[in-house]
Chain A
Amino acid sequence: MATAAPDLDELRRLTQLTAPVTLAREHTLPVLEELRPLLPERGVRRGSTVAVRGDGSCALAIALTAELSRTGGWVVCVGVPTLGVSAALEVGAALERWAFVDDPGDQAAEVVNALVSGVDLIVIGPQVRLRFTHTRRLAARLRERGTSVITIAPDPSASLAADLTIEIERSTWTGVEWGHGRLRARRVEIVTSGRGAAARSRRLAAWLPGPEGRIQVIGQATLRRPNNSDGTDGTDGTDNTAEMAGATAGTVVDLARRAG
């Protein structure tokens, strides 16, 4: 019986699968596949602070935490008493590993400090105010313990300095007409900016959520360097991303005009 010739393609595929490439991933918290294009490191880097602003920031913050809680990580929301539990379940968050500290009062820094050693991600609401001396110490401790923070619509003067800022610039709901229909989907335009790997500002269009109820980043365009050669960064539909983003913006304007 003849031995089959080794299938080189198959071997190459196996090499890729078994290569120790998990190193970088260990330093990031897992994020839903659909949201990875938003983040320069394809996940929330451990010890970093992500600021989310604009209409839809709560929904986006919940979505960013969903995959983490599902894979065994703990999420604690400090000063977000209004966060919708049903919305979190709809994006697949495992609420068994969620807890809320609704009113930290003036002890917010102490509360966050106590949480840093035990939980993986802390969501901080817009009302929480931290003093500058506290934020510097907290940031150092966050980096040391590898706990990440998501701040919702933070006051820049009284919160942790963000490593990555995700700003939702334009959000348009579809599905509701004049007296009929229901909210079905929201299309948003997102601008990300930040420090380090996130320094290059990017603009993306996304469904939050889409017509099928899924959150999805649908196109991206680089602001500063449009002829970006970094092919590995793209999603499925990256070949004509610039056009797509343009088309998206146009659609948004159209919808807004019609609705108005």
Chain B
Amino acid sequence: MSATRTLVVLAPHWSTVAAGIPPDEPAVVVFANRVIDATPAAHTHDVQVGLRRREAQSRCPALEVIEHDPARDARRFDPVVSSLERLTPRVEILQPGLCSFPTRGPSRFFGGDDALAGLAVDYAGEAVADAIVLDPLPPALLPRVGVADGLFAASLAAQRERHGTSEVIEPGASGSFLCNFSVAALVEGASPLAGHDDLVDVFWRLGLRTLADVAALTSEDLLARFGVPGVLAHRLASGLDDRPPDTRPVPEGLAREAQLDPPADRVDTVAFVAKTLADEIDERLASNGVVCTRLVIEAVSENGEVRTRVWRHEHRFTAAAMTDRVRWQLDGWFHSAQRPTGGVVTLRLEPDEVVPDEGRQLGFWGGQSNNDERAARALARVQGLLGPDAVTVPERGRGRRSADVEKRVSLTAVSLSSDRPLTAPELADAPWPGRLPAPSPATVFSPPRHIEVRDAEGGAVMVTGRGDVASDPVHVIAEGARRKVIGWAGPWPLDERWWDGAAHRRQARFQVVLDDGTAHLVSVERGNWWLDATYD
């Protein structure tokens, strides 16, 4: 089966452009502490994609560091897609900064692949120039266009091409075009193998250095040794279409539509509806044994304006990924020049291309399991009831006092699907001299509660500057109730962050056991006593 002739438009350094950084300023976009995009100016300082943030900053001290924001990237990319819609209505967005469309129809209409590619460069270039308010656009930011048989070859052609012109690979020549690329190209960009770095690593160590080496093997051998990813690698390296030949006809009745009444003029409101639709579609897809790889999202405003976009995913659309695309699309629409004049009344999600679900081996003990998805859905429902910040997940902070260690972060700030570390690894085993040893209290009060601690004469118990107790604690008064102390230990003085006036804490901690059998952690700071925690 021959590959679909495809045109790919790549907007270079897109994350930095979307963040509004001029190309002559050194800046990087980071995600999970790694550089994922850098401006051309940063490249001249030898700052490369993949560096750690600290390393990048040490190479270029003036570097500006921007956090990754996929929603911003997608929103700013919308005008670029709109500009290409003058060529064809079927523009697929692979990821913000990268889109593609099949060239068969438009190429015939505009006079050949070369002419079409030239137009694509011009149109996309104008849109990018508008986005960053720079005219003319510096060569490093000019959109790169590649045309070839199949998406993979076309995107490699776009990546290779450098100066705002286009690279057109003749029909049937994609195989020979690909053969000189390194196997590392298999996992770059929007490749369906993205994330299989270990596969490329094994190829490399087996002596398979170029795509030609991989293509020379038989597909059966690769299947036997590497499974589905191996076959996919073979297809890509041979210049065949990246889609397996058994792309199924889309089953009937997968599309879902919702009417919004009253019309929604906020992205969040539409996204909330989209979540429900996406969940339904996900369920139907699963019952048909297929996964969706291409999704059409259509939104109609109350005055009849329509915005339709085709989104492609390299693996599969989960319900959350579908909702994200809806949010990005509407965000882009609401902020674009052709923004709707009224609220959104109709939202339609339609899976456009499905492939058989290869299945996924769920973790047997821990790891990625079905449980996590179910729990995430249930927690999202609670967020819908009580507000996004009502659900928190625990995180271990750093410090000596219980209140510093016990942290909660809002569920919106973390991703449950990834392997979420509770502590930064370098801090997990860091010694905190002065931290109280186990057992830790099961009830921690944040903020601590005010109490009074009295000695035998009824006066307040004081701790001297040298950390000595002036008199033994005999009574504890909390919320009007007085309890007798039957055992106490301490004081354990704590004098931390004396170098920082605002954060300076100087306190002494005690463990007290009261006559009702309860044990508590109390502390005294500037003459005031606090109940920090209870060993409940």
| Contact surface of A with B, Cβ cutoff 8 Å | 55-59, 62, 70-74, 76, 82-90, 94-105, 107, 110-111, 114-120, 170-173, 175-184, 186, 209, 213, 256, 259-260
Binds A, one of B210-218, B451-459, B513-521: B513-521
Residue B441 at the chain A interface, CB threshold 8 Å: yes
A59 and B407 CA atoms in complex are apart in Å by 18
Q: Are B489 and A181 in contact (CB under 8 A)?
A: yes
* With A55-B536, A84-B533, A173-B513 as contacts: A111 and B439 at CB distance below 8 Å: no
Nearest chain-B residue to A260 (Cβ)? B486
Q: Are A86 and B396 in contact (CB under 8 A)?
A: yes
- Further pairs besides A82-B446, A118-B375: 19, Cβ < 8 Å: A73-B371, A74-B371, A74-B374, A84-B441, A84-B442, A95-B396, A97-B371, A99-B391, A100-B392, A100-B394, A101-B382, A104-B390, A107-B386, A119-B375, A173-B519, A176-B519, A177-B489, A179-B489, A182-B437
Q: Which residues of B contact A256 (CB under 8 A)?
A: 486, 517
Q: Which residues of A contact B337 (CB under 8 A)?
A: none
Closest-CB distance, B449 to chain A (whole angstroms): 10
* With A99-B411, A182-B489 as contacts: A55 and B518 at CB distance below 8 Å: yes
Q: Which residues of A contact B438 (CB under 8 A)?
A: 90, 209, 213
Q: Are A173 and B443 in contact (CB under 8 A)?
A: no
Closest-CB distance, A171 to chain B (whole angstroms): 5
| Contact surface of B with A, Cβ cutoff 8 Å | 363, 365-367, 369, 371-372, 374-379, 381-382, 385-386, 390-396, 402, 405-408, 411, 419-420, 422, 436-446, 469, 472, 486-489, 511-513, 515-519, 533, 535-536
User: Could you tell me the dominant secondary structure of chain B's interface residues?
Assistant: mixed
Which of B381, B405, B511 touches A182 (beta carbons < 8 Å)?
A: B511
Closest-CB distance, A145 to chain B (whole angstroms): 10
Q: Are B391 and A100 in contact (CB under 8 A)?
A: yes
Q: Are A259 and B385 in contact (CB under 8 A)?
A: no
Q: Are A101 and B402 in contact (CB under 8 A)?
A: no
Closest-CB distance, B55 to chain A (whole angstroms): 29
Q: Are B392 and A72 in contact (CB under 8 A)?
A: no
Q: Which residues of B contact A184 (CB under 8 A)?
A: 439
A186 and B381 CA atoms in complex are apart in Å by 39
A55 and B534 CA atoms in complex are apart in Å by 10
* With A110-B385, A114-B381, A173-B513 as contacts: A59 and B375 at CB distance below 8 Å: no
Closest-CB distance, A111 to chain B (whole angstroms): 5
Task: List 17 contacting pairs A-B, 8 Å CB cutoff, sorted by A.
Answer: A55-B516, A55-B517, A56-B536, A59-B535, A62-B442, A76-B375, A86-B402, A95-B396, A101-B391, A102-B392, A103-B390, A114-B385, A171-B518, A181-B487, A182-B436, A183-B489, A209-B439
A209 and B519 CA atoms in complex are apart in Å by 13
A183 and B518 CA atoms in complex are apart in Å by 11
Q: Are B371 and A84 in contact (CB under 8 A)?
A: no
Top 10 closest pairs, chain A to chain B, by CB: A118-B378, A86-B440, A58-B442, A74-B375, A114-B381, A58-B536, A59-B442, A176-B487, A87-B442, A87-B440
A86 and B441 CA atoms in complex are apart in Å by 8
Q: Are A183 and B385 in contact (CB under 8 A)?
A: no
Closest-CB distance, B488 to chain A (whole angstroms): 6
* With A118-B375, A118-B379, A172-B517 as contacts: A186 and B535 at CB distance below 8 Å: yes
* With A56-B536, A118-B375 as contacts: A170 and B442 at CB distance below 8 Å: no
* With A97-B372, A179-B488, A180-B489 as contacts: A76 and B392 at CB distance below 8 Å: no
Residue of A107, A179, A259 with most chain B CB atoms under a 10 A cut-off: A179
Q: Are B420 and A96 in contact (CB under 8 A)?
A: yes
Nearest chain-A residue to B420 (Cβ)? A96
Q: Are B379 and A76 in contact (CB under 8 A)?
A: yes
A56 and B439 CA atoms in complex are apart in Å by 12
Q: Are B443 and A83 in contact (CB under 8 A)?
A: yes
A73 and B408 CA atoms in complex are apart in Å by 20
Closest-CB distance, B380 to chain A (whole angstroms): 9
Q: Which residues of A contact B519 (CB under 8 A)?
A: 173, 176, 183, 186
